[in-house]
Chains A and B, each alone.
Chain A
């Protein structure tokens, strides 16, 4: 497996999504992932630890971008996510009781064991959907050198017929 996860706090179904996202953004900020991470996904699980909903942040960093990073612009652009998230609630599904969540990062490549960052990540045993999920885009942003897309993933209707192991 070449995705890793950092476990979040379990059993917090009450936490509201925007709050979570604020946390998530700051979380990402604090991690100097340096272009290693391709996606950061906030996954909500039901009691059986089967994903119910996934908020996917797809990140692309333009490595060839050499001019100065306009932080204000970037911050501003990132803030747009928060705004959009607050109105994204109708897109979400009510979470069943006993839900939990975790944040999973998908790496382009496994961070090598020796680096400090790698030790902070634990490989995940997250259950995956067997069918391609349904995607609902929430926000796309491009502010050089960073491109971020946020979309929501729900299990496809076929999923329930052929449940994941």
Chain B
């Protein structure tokens, strides 16, 4: 497969353009060439003496002074006009009879066209203003100075917009000029394009205004109404393109009617500047003679002559200071933005083509005689200008440039200039001021983004008709080496050091040499590229790496509020762009341009000037396109810069690490809290499964004999575990289970035990760590063991005993328990032990980091409440045990917030109303009765602290006690509070805190409560220490 590269070089295109415009001019004035030449000259209204040079006839005449020269000139012009008029308007009864116009400045239609109108319709046209000969002044734009002093300028004559003439012709009668007066609505319509006009929305839209604004735009042609000989010849149809390719005709034949679409290479980022079209055409292309097509696609755009954007008020705000919609308008009017989003537009609009690339490929292949891939690069040079002026023939050969503003200051930048303008040295990026210095009659036209989009879309449509792939890519030019893709600064330097600056020079070097010099790949690349060979596949769509928006113009802030508003808008913009691309980003980068110290106000009006650029980024865990998050993060980053908002000259926000939004949308919809609360088990399941399986080998040695397994239990295990056990037993388990199918056992005990393996499994699942799942594994295993019935300590696997031993006191308690627990309940007590061990290690968490404690915690966390309580209820002995352990003590208490103890101790709080209420009611102690009474009065779920609070007024009662009653009250209260601590320590220390604050207050007035406080407070501290690793800090109460 061969590849050809046809590049459109600017010079070539330029020649064509020049030719086109000449031919079109000639075509338009077939009758009198003399008229053309004079009117061309006269269309510039300046009456400078040097204009005499234009007319050779006048050179010989001698004039006494400038006045007589002008009088002579005017006379001759009048004569000329009259002769013209007599030939063109036969009847001499045109609608404009008696009207003589003077055209001031740039108008649409041009003064020349207006002159023709006057010629045809019996009016007069005056080249040099005179109060006596002129009846109407026609102008579209007036400089501010003239606007301000309109009467002085017009000398009382009506100043009318050209639309008056146009409309009159259309209506075929002389309309009243009154509505067309330029003076009306001075405030609404700015005759001169100002910066501000670019920051307003399309607002004024009644038809007249639209028309007016169109006039002001300087971009409108009126072919429909005025010209009879204008044909949309500048449209090259698909058919023509096809014809030229089909028949191999020289495209020059069509060339004369082609106007080019020029994408301004300078203003367009390199990537977007050049469109490579890979055409599989019908074999007509000859490699030795590549045909070059300057295609144009003006289509039906003539209707689209009215640009509503022009209707803008002069006093609209235009910087971040004054415009609340600054960001929005900024991007609406930014050419760079337009270019930036181009690719996305392309992707969206032509997704059909992209999807259908394959099928169309097939079609083309089947059509073509020989398969050839032809890659055509089209340089859309000075695109912005060409599109705007494509309907205005009179502008074709004039220097035209596109810029935001044609203000007096001339501080706007030129973004694109056509070739006539370039001849004068006008370049993109120049200030209008400087450009005008090079070329005084340079016509500045504003952007017309809608037209650009339209043309671009049409252009792509054409391309897609014939090509299967269109790529936005680097530009292949054989002039400077650096312009080649893949040649950056350093490579360029290297080449320069070898006196290689152009591709031509590079071509002289052999491939081998290049490969030796620059390495194989680079050498190959250089060799190919400088010959215009690019073997890279033409990719249709390049992946978007980041999405962002940056504003470096018009950024001025007075205070933080300004900045925040701006930032919100910027975030909005970025958020919309993200949504537009259907991506979300994880890294947020904020770039801030800060005025460099001592930097002057920039030359460009409201530009950014000399700046330091700061940039910082933040990566968030979950990709976002959410406005609020963006705002929060960007603000946070901005704060971290510590800069004064007044110094800020530019702000950019960018998101990178993009992820497809569709993937994330789902996760986003679920509420974050909910997902956060979701059980980790599923997620970590796989992981732990892996670990568990890796543990198998280690466990094998301690396996209980198969016969000791309880089949009833095993069969209730989750299938995964069964299969796992089966694996451990080398597949014998299944046989074993079948054999023992009928065996009956106590269902109760089964159930109890079943819950445990599940827990084991859970803990296994929840652990993200080998160490934990290790223990988890042991636990699970051990449970199988316990299923076997006999519970012997010696049989415990090492892991478990290690846990048990970790706390001596717990160990002691365990032994104690075991003595009393009878075999049928072995599992339950076991599970209880398991639980009771856990808080102990929880306490140790901070002090003894290690795998065991970690494991314990996870197990504890996984133990559901009901399992625990179930176990407790199953063991009536528990109460006794805990009584023992209560005697056993404070030592025990201190070292562990014991579940056992809890289970027994909270008995006072079990039931509804809690048991203690009854107990207190029947007590002899008044204070206890009072407390019980208050409980009865309050809500069922009342907290102890609120009851205690109510008791406060009864405190004096508490002090008048016999010592017996006193002791009873103290012990009862102590017990109550102790149990309350056990009950609440885990879940509600706030409540305990409140209780003890109250208690402390009570103790300052009541000795009884002082005793109670003294008795229980150490326990509280011990428990707190156990659970929270610290001590309660109680405020000192006077």
Contacts and interface: CB of A to CB of B under 8 A. Distances in A.
B621 A117 contact: yes
A109 B772 contact: yes
Interface stretch (B79-87, B744-752, B967-975, B1027-1035): B1027-1035
Interface stretch (B158-166, B385-393, B674-682): B674-682
A133 B1030 contact: yes
A76 to B, nearest CB: 12
B1024 A9 contact: no
B869 to A, nearest CB: 12
A109 B676 contact: no
A146 interface: yes
Nearest to A153: B1030
Contacts of A140: 987-991
A18 B732 CA distance: 62
B854 A149 contact: no
Interface in A42-80: 56, 58, 60-64, 69, 71, 74-75, 78
Given A32-B675, A64-B865, A132-B1031, A149 B857 contact: no
A78 B674 CA distance: 13
A112 B671 CA distance: 25
B990 A149 contact: yes
A38 B858 CA distance: 10
Contacts of A78: 673
B636 A63 contact: no
Main SS at interface, chain B: helix
A81 to B, nearest CB: 11
Given A140-B990, A151-B1028, A36 B677 contact: no
A68 to B, nearest CB: 9
A136 B621 contact: no
Contacts of B673: 29, 69, 71, 74-75, 78
Contacts of B1029: 132-133
B769 interface: yes
B687 interface: yes
Chain A interface residue bracket vs B: 35 or more
Interface string A141-152: 010011101010
A135 B1031 contact: yes
Interface in A108-165: 108-112, 115-117, 120, 128, 132-140, 142, 145-147, 149, 151, 153-154, 156
Nearest to A71: B671
A44 B1030 CA distance: 17
A74 B677 CA distance: 11
Interface stretch (B94-102, B112-120, B213-221, B760-768): B760-768
B647 interface: no
A108 B845 CA distance: 10
Contacts of B768: 36, 109-112, 115
Nearest to B1033: A134
A2 B858 CA distance: 14
Contact of B762 (A63, A71, A74, A75): A63
Nearest to B765: A63
Contact of B680 (A35, A75, A147): A35
A129 B676 CA distance: 30
A139 B990 contact: yes
A30 interface: yes
B639 to A, nearest CB: 8
B766 A35 contact: yes
A165 B1006 CA distance: 44
A145 B679 CA distance: 10
A69 B1025 contact: no
A151 B1034 CA distance: 13
A35 B858 contact: no
B638 to A, nearest CB: 12
B864 interface: yes
B849 interface: yes
B537 interface: no
A15 B865 CA distance: 40
Contacts of A69: 673-674, 677
A147 B861 CA distance: 12
Interface in B949-1004: 986-993
A156 B991 CA distance: 22
Contacts of A16: none
Given A135-B1028, A149-B987, A108 B858 contact: yes
Given A31-B621, A64-B866, A109-B772, A71 B987 contact: no
A12 to B, nearest CB: 9
Contact of A112 (B769, B846, B865): B769
Given A31-B676, A63-B681, A147-B987, A135 B767 contact: no
A29 B671 CA distance: 9
Most chain B Cβ neighbours within 10 Å, of A30, A109, A136: A109
Contacts of B858: 108-109
A32 B992 contact: no
A134 B676 contact: no
Most chain B Cβ neighbours within 10 Å, of A1, A35, A146: A35
A63 B858 CA distance: 11
A63 B766 contact: yes
A33 interface: yes
A58 B842 CA distance: 13
B759 to A, nearest CB: 10
B672 interface: yes
Contacts of A128: 846
A116 B992 CA distance: 39
Given A109-B772, A109-B854, A153-B1030, A63 B622 contact: no
Contacts of A151: 989-990, 1028
A38 B680 CA distance: 13
A64 B863 CA distance: 8
Contact of A136 (B676, B865, B1033): B1033
Contacts of A136: 993, 1032-1033
B640 interface: yes
Contacts of A111: 768
A1 B850 CA distance: 9
B856 to A, nearest CB: 10
A30 B866 CA distance: 31
Nearest to B670: A32
B816 interface: no
Interface in B516-573: none
Interface in B583-636: 619-622, 636
B862 interface: yes
Contacts of A75: 673
B862 A38 contact: no
B349 interface: no
Interface string B728-744: 00000000000000000
B683 interface: yes
Contacts of B1028: 56, 58, 135, 151
A132 B1025 contact: yes
A119 B801 CA distance: 35
Contact of A29 (B672, B766, B989, B1032): B672
B674 A30 contact: no
B1024 A135 contact: yes
Given A34-B678, A134-B1030, A134-B1031, A112 B687 contact: yes
Contacts of A135: 989, 1024, 1028, 1030-1033
A-B complex: 4 closest residue pairs judged by Cβ atoms: A134-B1033, A64-B864, A140-B990, A137-B993
30 contacts: A2-B849, A28-B676, A30-B621, A30-B672, A32-B622, A33-B676, A34-B678, A36-B768, A38-B857, A60-B861, A60-B987, A63-B862, A63-B864, A64-B866, A69-B673, A71-B674, A109-B767, A109-B854, A109-B858, A112-B769, A133-B1030, A133-B1031, A136-B993, A136-B1032, A137-B1032, A138-B990, A140-B989, A146-B677, A151-B989, A151-B990
Given A1-B849, A30-B672, A63-B864, 19 more contacts: A2-B849, A29-B672, A31-B676, A32-B672, A32-B675, A38-B857, A69-B674, A71-B671, A74-B673, A108-B857, A109-B767, A109-B768, A110-B769, A132-B1030, A135-B1030, A136-B1033, A137-B1032, A142-B987, A154-B1033
